[in-house]
C-alpha cells in the first residue's frame, strides 16, 4: 500500500524544501512539497519533482564499472574496491598521498557527504581543491567587509520599504523568496531589479534597470557618489562602526557620474534616483550569485556592500547586504566529520584552475583523481583543458548515479544512491535557517551503494576502517553535537522533519563585526593595498583588452538553467535537450539572425553550436547560454569560459567572457 513520507530536497539550491514523497512497493511514485514546512509550505519546483525520475531512471548505473580497452565492463564491488585501494596504497608508497586529487563539488547538500574528506584525511591527506566555481568571490568579499557572510532571515524582507534585487532571478532559483517578494509588494514595498536580463523577477518589479554585464560595482560607486553629494550618508555608522571611509571617498572622487553612466550603460537620472531609494530606509539588497563571476567579482560585491553600509542599511531590520547566510552551515560540527587534524600531508589546487594544475603538477605528479558530488568535465571552466587533464592521469575514479561526461571518461565508475536511498540531513546556507531530515525509504537499484558504504569498504582495505566504524545515526549525532547542547537533537529533528537553527535574524544589529578591527571595513585592514576598493571592470572588456573586445564584441552569461540543478537533470528530460543560444535583440538585428537559426558561438578557447533564441529586453551585446548542458546535448558551454580566478582568488570568472557569433548551416 502507498505511503507518504516526509523528506527533504537534497539539491544545492537556495530553498532547501521540505518534501512529501509517496512510496509504493519500494518505489518512489510521487514527489510533492510538504505543506507543514515553515518556509517552503508545500511548494516545490520542477527540479525537486524530478527527483522521482532521477530515482527511478533506467539510466541509473547499477553496477561498478571498469574501462577495459575503451569499453566499460561490469565488475564486482570486491574487484573494484580491491583494485582502487591497491592502487591508492601503491601511489602513497611511491609518490605520497598528495599524488591523489580529490575533485569534488556540491551536487548534494547532505551533511554526510562531507565524509569523503574524512576518508581522504585518514588516507594521509590528498591534493584538495580550494575556492568555488559559484559564490566563492562574494563570500570572501563579505568576509573582508563584515568578517563573515550573513543574511537576514526570510520574514525580515517584509520590514523593507525598498527591495533591491541585484543580479538575481529569484523566480527561477529561489521561488520561496519570490513568494515573499509578492507579499512585500502587496504590503506596499517597492521592488527594483538590476540585471542585464529582463527576467521573470523583473516582471514583478516597480522598476527594472538594465546594466552592462560585470559593471555592477561601478553602478554602486555612482550611487554612493550621489548619496555623498546630497549629504544623505549615515554619518553615525561611518563614524562609529566603520573604518577606511576616507579611501572610499577618494575612490568615488576619481570618477564622474557621466563616466559611470557611460561605462555601466545606466542613465544618470537612474543612478541619481537610487541615492534616494537607498537613503529611504530600510532598503534591503539581495545579491545574486552571478555578479561575482568576474575578475573584478570580489570588488563588485564589496562595492555593493559599501553602498549598503554608507546608506546606513547594515544591522537594521528590513535592510542588509544579503548574499549568503553562512550562519546556517556554521550551526553544524562538520569538523567532527572530516577529521582534518588526522592528515599528515596536504596540497591545494584552485578549483577553477584544476586542469592546469593537474597538467603542471610535479613532486608529486597527479596519479589518480577521485571525483565525488560533481561533474567537472561539464562544470569547470575551459572544459577542453579539463578533459585533457582528466585524461592524462593513470586512474580516474568517479562516484555517481549516472554516466555523466566525467563518468564517461573514468577508469572506474562506482554507482551510488539517491537521497531517498540513504538517511541524511539537509540545509542550505543561502536562504532560510531550517535543517530538514531525510530518511531512507527505498532501496538503491542494482548494486548501487551509499557513499558511506564505499568509503567504509575502501577504508577497511587501506587499514583505517575503525574510523568508519560508526552508524549513520552516530555520525549524524556527531555533526549535531553543538546543537544538541542547545536542546536541538536528532531525535527531535526526526520527529518533526525540520528544526529552526539558532541564527541571528538581523545580522550585525549590535555593530560588532568579525573583522580584525571589529568594525565594518571599507578598506580591509590586514590585506594591505589589496584591501582597498577599486574601480575595476571585467578583464575581458574594451577597457582592459581592446583587441579582444574588437574580435569578440559580445558578453556571454551562463546562467542557472530553469529545469536542471546545474548539469544534474538534462539527461532526465522527456525530450532530449538542445543547446539554446539566447541573444539580445540588437545582436539579432545586426547579424540578421532569427529564432531557430543554427549558430556558432566562439572565442579563442573553443566553440559551441546551437539554436538561436531572442531575449526580449536583454542588455545590448549580451548572449546567454544556460550552464550545465552535457557534451552529448551540445555542451559544455564551459568550452568558452576562462579558468582565470577572481580578484580575491576564491571565485570563478565564468561570466567574464567575450565571444562572437555567426549563423551556420
C-beta of 54 vs 605, nearer to ligand SF4: 54
Residues constituting the chain? 665
Cβ nearer to ligand SF4, comparing 13 with 163: 13
Q: How far is the CB of 182 from ligand SF4 (least distance, A)?
A: 16
As measured in angstroms, the least distance from the Cβ of 85 to ligand SF4 is: 35
CB of 280 to ligand SF4, least distance (A): 32
| SS3 readout for 266-282 | CCHHHHHHHHHHHHCCC
Choose between 42 and 531: whose C-beta lies nearer to ligand SF4. 42
Buried b (16+ CB within 10 A) or exposed e, 636-663: bbbbbbbbbbbbbebbbbbbbbbbbbee
User: Facing residues of 21 across strands?
Assistant: 5, 31
Residue 378: CB minimum distance to ligand SF4, A? 18
Taking the complex as a whole, the smallest distance from the CB of residue 489 to ligand SF4 amounts, in Å, to 24
Q: Please check whether residue 569 is in contact with residue 54, taking contact to mean a CB–CB distance below 8 angstroms.
A: yes
Q: Minimal distance in Å, beta carbon 569 to ligand SF4?
A: 10
CB-CB contact of 319 with 283 (8 Å): yes
CB of 275 to ligand SF4, least distance (A): 35
Q: For ligand SF4, which is the closer residue by CB, 129 or 175?
A: 175
Of 322 and 436, the one with the shorter C-beta distance to ligand SF4 is 436
Give, in order, the Cα–Cα distances in Å from 379 to each of 248, 517, 568, 605.
36, 38, 11, 15
Which one, 498 or 555, has the nearer CB to ligand SF4?
498
Q: Is the peptide bond before 404 cis (omega within 30 degrees of 0)?
A: no
Shortest Å distance, C-beta 13 to ligand SF4: 3
Name the minimum Å distance from CB 84 to ligand SF4: 32
Instruction: For the CB of residue 65, give the shortest distance to ligand SF4 in the complex, in Å.
Output: 28
Is the bond leading into 364 cis (omega within 30 degrees of zero)?
yes
Taking alpha carbons only, the member of 569, 655, 572, 558 closest to residue 610 is 558
Considering only CA atoms, which of 342, 431, 363 is closest in space to residue 151?
A: 431
We find the least distance from the C-beta atom of residue 446 to ligand SF4, in angstroms, to be: 25
d(CA 379, CA 356): 15
Taking the complex as a whole, the smallest distance from the CB of residue 175 to ligand SF4 amounts, in Å, to: 5
What are the Cα distances from residue 533, in Å, to 60, 215, 543?
49, 14, 18
CA 144 to chain CA centroid, nearest Å: 19
Residue pair 63/74 in contact by the 8 Å Cβ criterion: yes
SS3 (DSSP) at 75: coil
Shortest CA distance to 303 belongs to which of 276, 326, 323, 325? 323
- Name the residue nearer to ligand SF4 (CB basis): 7 or 642: 7
Return the ∠ at Cα 286 (arms to 280 and 288), rounded to 5°: 145
In the complex with ligand SF4, the residue whose CB is nearer, 154 or 214, is 154
Pick between residue 41 and residue 95 the one whose CB is nearest to ligand SF4: 41
Measured from the CB atom, the residue of 16 and 418 that comes closer to ligand SF4 is 16
Phi/psi-derived region of residue 599, left when phi > 0, alpha when psi is between -120 and 50, beta in every other case: beta
CB 7 within 8 A of CB 420: yes
Q: Looking at beta carbons only, is 180 or 302 nearer to ligand SF4?
A: 180
Q: Which pairing describes strands 580-584 and 607-615: parallel, antiparallel, or unpaired?
A: parallel
**436/642 with CB nearer ligand SF4:** 436
Q: Which is nearer to ligand SF4, 13 or 623 (CB)?
A: 13
Closest approach of Cβ 18 to ligand SF4, in Å? 9
At residue 21, the 3 state secondary structure works out as: strand
Helix (H) or strand (E) holding 600: strand 598-602
Do residues 422 and 430 make contact, with C-beta atoms less than 8 angstroms apart? no
Interacting residues toward ligand SF4 by CB under 6 A: 9, 11, 13, 15-17, 44-45, 47-48, 175, 565
Closest-approach residue to ligand SF4 (CB):
48
Amino acid at each position: 500500500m502507498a505511503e507518504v513520507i516526509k523528506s527533504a530536497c537534497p539539491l544545492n539550491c537556495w530553498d532547501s524544501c521540505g518534501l512529501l514523497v509517496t512510496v509504493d512497493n519500494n518505489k518512489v511514485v510521487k514527489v510533492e512539497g510538504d505543506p507543514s514546512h515553515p518556509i517552503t509550505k508545500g511548494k516545490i519546483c520542477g527540479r525537486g519533482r524530478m527527483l522521482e525520475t532521477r530515482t527511478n531512471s533506467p539510466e541509473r548505473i547499477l553496477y561498478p564499472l571498469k574501462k577495459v580497452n575503451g569499453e566499460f565492463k561490469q565488475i564486482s564491488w570486491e574487484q573494484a574496491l580491491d583494485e582502487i585501494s591497491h592502487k591508492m596504497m601503491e601511489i602513497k608508497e611511491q609518490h605520497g598521498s598528495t599524488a591523489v586529487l580529490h575533485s569534488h563539488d556540491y551536487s548534494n547538500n547532505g551533511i554526510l557527504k562531507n565524509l569523503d574528506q574524512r576518508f581522504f584525511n585518514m588516507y594521509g591527506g590528498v591534493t584538495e581543491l580550494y575556492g568555488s566555481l559559484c559564490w566563492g568571490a562574494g563570500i570572501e568579499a563579505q568576509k573582508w567587509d563584515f568578517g563573515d557572510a550573513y543574511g537576514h532571515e526570510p520574514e525580515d524582507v517584509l520590514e523593507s520599504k525598498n527591495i533591491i534585487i541585484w543580479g538575481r532571478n529569484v523566480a527561477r532559483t529561489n521561488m520561496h523568496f519570490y513568494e515573499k517578494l509578492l507579499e512585500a509588494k502587496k504590503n506596499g514595498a517597492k521592488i527594483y531589479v538590476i540585471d542585464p536580463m529582463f527576467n521573470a523577477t523583473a516582471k514583478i518589479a516597480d522598476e527594472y534597470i538594465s546594466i552592462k554585464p560585470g559593471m555592477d560595482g561601478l553602478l554602486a560607486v555612482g550611487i554612493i557618489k550621489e548619496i555623498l553629494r546630497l549629504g544623505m550618508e549615515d554619518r553615525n555608522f561611518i563614524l562609529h562602526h566603520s573604518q577606511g571611509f576616507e579611501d572610499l571617498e577618494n575612490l568615488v572622487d576619481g570618477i564622474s557620474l557621466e563616466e559611470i553612466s557611460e561605462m555601466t550603460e545606466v542613465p544618470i537620472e537612474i543612478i541619481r534616483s537610487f541615492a534616494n531609494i537607498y537613503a529611504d530606509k530600510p532598503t534591503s539588497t539581495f545579491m545574486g550569485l552571478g555578479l561575482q563571476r568576474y575578475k573584478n567579482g570580489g570588488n563588485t560585491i564589496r562595492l555593493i556592500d559599501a553602498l549598503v553600509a554608507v546608506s546606513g542599511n547594515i544591522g537594521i531590520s528590513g535592510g542588509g547586504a544579503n548574499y549568503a547566510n553562512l550562519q546556517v552551515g556554521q550551526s553544524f560540527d562538520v569538523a567532527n566529520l572530516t577529521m582534518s587534524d588526522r592528515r599528515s600531508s596536504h596540497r591545494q589546487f584552485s578549483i577553477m584552475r584544476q586542469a592546469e594544475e593537474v597538467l603542471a603538477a610535479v613532486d608529486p605528479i597527479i596519479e589518480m583523481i577521485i571525483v565525488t558530488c560533481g561533474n567537472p568535465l561539464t562544470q569547470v571552466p575551459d572544459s577542453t583543458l579539463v578533459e585533457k587533464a582528466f585524461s592524462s592521469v593513470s586512474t580516474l575514479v568517479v562516484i555517481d548515479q549516472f554516466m555523466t561526461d566525467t563518468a564517461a571518461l573514468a577508469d572506474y565508475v562506482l554507482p551510488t544512491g539517491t537521497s531517498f536511498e540513504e538517511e541524511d540531513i539537509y540545509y542550505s546556507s543561502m536562504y532560510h535557517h531550517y535543517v530538514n531530515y531525510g530518511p531512507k525509504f527505498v532501496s538503491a537499484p542494482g548494486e548501487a551503494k551509499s557513499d558511506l558504504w564505499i568509503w567504509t569498504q575502501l577504508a577497511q582495505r587501506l587499514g583505517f576502517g575503525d574510523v568508519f566504524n560508526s552508524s549513520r545515526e552516530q555520525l549524524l549525532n556527531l555533526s549535531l553535537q553543538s546543537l544538541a547542547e542547545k536542546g536541538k537533537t536528532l531525535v527531535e529533528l526526526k520527529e518533526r522533519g525540520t528544526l529552526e537553527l539558532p541564527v541571528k535574524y538581523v545580522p550585525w544589529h549590535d555593530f560588532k563585526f568579525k573583522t580584525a578591527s571589529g568594525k565594518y571595513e571599507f578598506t580591509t585592514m590586514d590585506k594591505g593595498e589589496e584591501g582597498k576598493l577599486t574601480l575595476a571592470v571585467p578583464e575581458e572588456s574594451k577597457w582592459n583588452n581592446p583587441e579582444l573586445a574588437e574580435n569578440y564584441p559580445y558578453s556571454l552569461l551562463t546562467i542557472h538553467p530553469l529545469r536542471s540543478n546545474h548539469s544534474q537533470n538534462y539527461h532526465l528530460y522527456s525530450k532530449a535537450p538542445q543547446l539554446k543560444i539566447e541573444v539580445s535583440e540588437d545582436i539579432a538585428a545586426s547579424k540578421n539572425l532569427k529564432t531557430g537559426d543554427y549558430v556558432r558561438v566562439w572565442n579563442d578557447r573553443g566553440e559551441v553550436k546551437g539554436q538561436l533564441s531572442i531575449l526580449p529586453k536583454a542588455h545590448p551585446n549580451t548572449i546567454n547560454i544556460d550552464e550545465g548542458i552535457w557534451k552529448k546535448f551540445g555542451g559544455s558551454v564551459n568550452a568558452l569560459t576562462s579558468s582565470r580566478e577572481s580578484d580575491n582568488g576564491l571565485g570563478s570568472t565564468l561570466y567574464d567572457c567575450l565571444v562572437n557569433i555567426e549563423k551556420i548551416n
